[in-house]
């Protein structure tokens, strides 16, 4: 049985608990939040033991798997302690706030025998999985170009997440906090590492962080990518994520949240408004390609990896590299130049 202890019981902690508690072979047995009232309410809802100090949760012998869902300022400290306690570990993105922290976690994870994963739910959206099936079957040939557009409402974020999200010392800023999803998509879908980046951004003076940005990137093997993000959608707008991949044999256009995929290749030309997945309605496909659907499938997968002793699709190294790309973006914003991405130094 997978016995989960969740640390950080906010918006995302609740989402994980909701899905974990529905998975066969898995139970949420402990929970922790610095807000004692929140921990007690959560514990009552899920039949778990409440804690207000993560170190006490880690001493709970009934917990074999830890979910770290606090603001990222605490990820490093709690992830190090979780590995020292020898538990399976899920850490939310972004993995950590600095290169030193990332390297510390890498070092600690060498030879670690328990499972570790990072939550990039987009890899588990049906829309992405369908696209990956085509890519893995060679429909695009040698991928040379990828474009990612990510749009959302910062006003809505201000309601769903704590105030930490707009404080760079706690959240790392929007480029780290949100673009890691896009860099993970670039690495996963093209199968190529990001070598260098150059970015421009609009700085929100009041909040003191970048709220719109565009970044171009050189990938391994001469391929290129462009990632642009805007937090300026109105409050009532749905999150919008679109990808375009072009290779030597074809192209895919993917609108993740509307579950639309158009593929043009030597093998097929198809405009596919979500009818691709056997046995699912268009509405089902839309849900499975939303953040919640991705989180549900991510959790089903991680529980299966623990129970069947399988290496998780998303490893610590993926979380590390997505964050490391963003350090070079920040560097480029200061220098105005293309900056090399440095991994693991």
Applying CB under 6 A, among 10, 104, 138, 141 the residue interacting with ligand NAD is: 10
How deeply is 27 buried, as exposed, middle or buried, from its count of CB atoms within 10 A (0-12, 13-18, 19+)?
A: middle
Of 36 and 269, the one with the shorter C-beta distance to ligand NAD is 36
**One of 3, 93, 115, 151 touching ligand NAD (CB under 6 A):** 93
> Per-residue contact track with ligand NAD, 287 to 306, x per CB under 6 A?
----x---------------
Q: Number of residues in contact with ligand NAD, rule: CB under 6 A? A: 26
Nearer of residues 74 and 260 to ligand NAD, judged by Cβ: 74
Q: Which two tokens stand for residue 194?
A: 């990001």
Is position 119 an interface residue for ligand NAD (rule: CB under 6 A)? Answer: yes
* H or E segment to which residue 3 belongs: strand 2-7
- Contact region for ligand NAD (CB under 6 A) — 8-16, 195-203, 265-273, 332-340? 8-16
> Scanning residues 310 to 339, which ones bind ligand NAD (CB under 6 A)?
none
Three-state secondary structure call for residue 171: helix
Q: Given the rule CB under 6 A, which of 67-75, 187-195, 273-281, 318-326 is the region that contacts ligand NAD? A: 67-75
Which helix (H) or strand (E) element contains residue 68?
Answer: strand 65-68
User: 265-268 contacts: CB < 8 A, separation 24 or more?
Assistant: 265/134, 265/139, 265/140, 265/141, 266/139, 267/137, 267/139, 268/139
**119 versus 277: smaller Cβ distance to ligand NAD:** 119
Pair 210, 201: CB distance under 8 Å? yes
Rounded distance, CA 152 to CA 230, Å? 6
By C-beta, is 276 or 327 nearer to ligand NAD? 327
61 burial (CB, 10 Å; 0-12 / 13-18 / 19+) is exposed
Residue range at the interface with ligand NAD (CB under 6 A); choices 66-74, 107-115, 141-149, 275-283: 66-74
Does 38 bind ligand NAD (CB under 6 A)? Our answer is yes
Q: For ligand NAD, which stretch binds (CB under 6 A), given 32-40, 194-202, 225-233, 269-277?
A: 32-40
Q: Which long-range contacts (CB under 8 A, 24 or more apart) does 22-25 make?
A: 23/299, 23/300, 23/303, 25/1, 25/303, 25/307
Give 174 or 217: the residue with its C-beta nearer to ligand NAD: 174
Residue 117 tokens, joined = 């994963």
In the three-class reduction of DSSP (H, G, I as helix; E, B as strand; rest coil), residue 105 is classed as helix
The yes or no reply on residue 121 touching ligand NAD (CB under 6 A) is yes
Residue 74 binds to ligand NAD (criterion: CB under 6 A): yes
- Contact between 79 and 87 under an 8 Å Cβ cutoff? The reply is no
* CB closest to ligand NAD, residue no: 10
Asked if 32 interacts with ligand NAD (CB under 6 A), we say: yes
Among 5, 71, 231, 274, binds ligand NAD (CB under 6 A): 71
The footprint of ligand NAD (CB under 6 A) covers: 7-13, 32-35, 38, 54, 69-72, 74, 92-93, 119, 121, 161-162, 177, 291
């Amino acid at each position: 049985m997978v016995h989960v202890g969740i640390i950080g019981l906010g918006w995302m902690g609740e989402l994980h608990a909701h899905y974990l508690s529905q998975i066969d072979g898995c139970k949420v047995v402990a929970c922790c939040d610095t807000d004692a009232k929140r921990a007690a309410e959560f514990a009552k809802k899920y039949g778990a033991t409440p804690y207000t100090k993560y170190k006490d949760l880690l001493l709970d012998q009934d917990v074999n798997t830890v979910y770290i869902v606090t603001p990222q300022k605490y990820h490093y400290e709690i992830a190090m302690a979780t590995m020292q306690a020898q538990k399976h570990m899920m850490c939310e993105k972004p993995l950590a706030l600095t290169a030193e922290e990332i390297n510390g976690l890498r070092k600690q994870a060498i030879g670690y025998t328990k499972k570790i994963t990072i939550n990039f739910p987009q890899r588990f959206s049906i829309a992405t999985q369908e696209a990956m099936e085509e890519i893995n079957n060679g429909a695009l040939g040698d991928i040379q170009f990828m474009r990612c557009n990510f749009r959302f409402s910062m006003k809505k974020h201000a309601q769903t997440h704590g105030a930490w999200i707009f404080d760079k010392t706690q959240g790392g800023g929007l480029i780290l906090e949100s673009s890691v999803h896009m860099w993970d998509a670039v690495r996963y879908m093209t199968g190529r590492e990001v070598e260098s980046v150059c970015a421009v951004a609009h700085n929100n003076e009041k909040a003191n962080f970048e709220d719109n940005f565009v970044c171009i990137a050189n990938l391994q093997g001469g391929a290129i990518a462009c990632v642009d993000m805007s937090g300026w959608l109105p409050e009532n707008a749905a999150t919008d994520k679109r990808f375009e991949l072009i290779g030597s044999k074809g192209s895919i256009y993917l609108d993740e949240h509307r579950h639309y995929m158009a593929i043009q290749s030597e093998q097929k030309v198809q405009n596919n408004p979500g009818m691709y997945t056997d046995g699912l309605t268009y509405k089902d496909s839309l849900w499975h390609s939303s953040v919640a659907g991705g989180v549900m499938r991510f959790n089903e997968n991680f529980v299966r990896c623990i129970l069947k002793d399988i290496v998780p699709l998303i490893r610590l190294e993926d979380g590390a590299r997505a964050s490391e790309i963003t350090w070079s973006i920040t560097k480029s914003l200061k220098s105005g130049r293309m900056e090399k991405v440095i991994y693991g130094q």
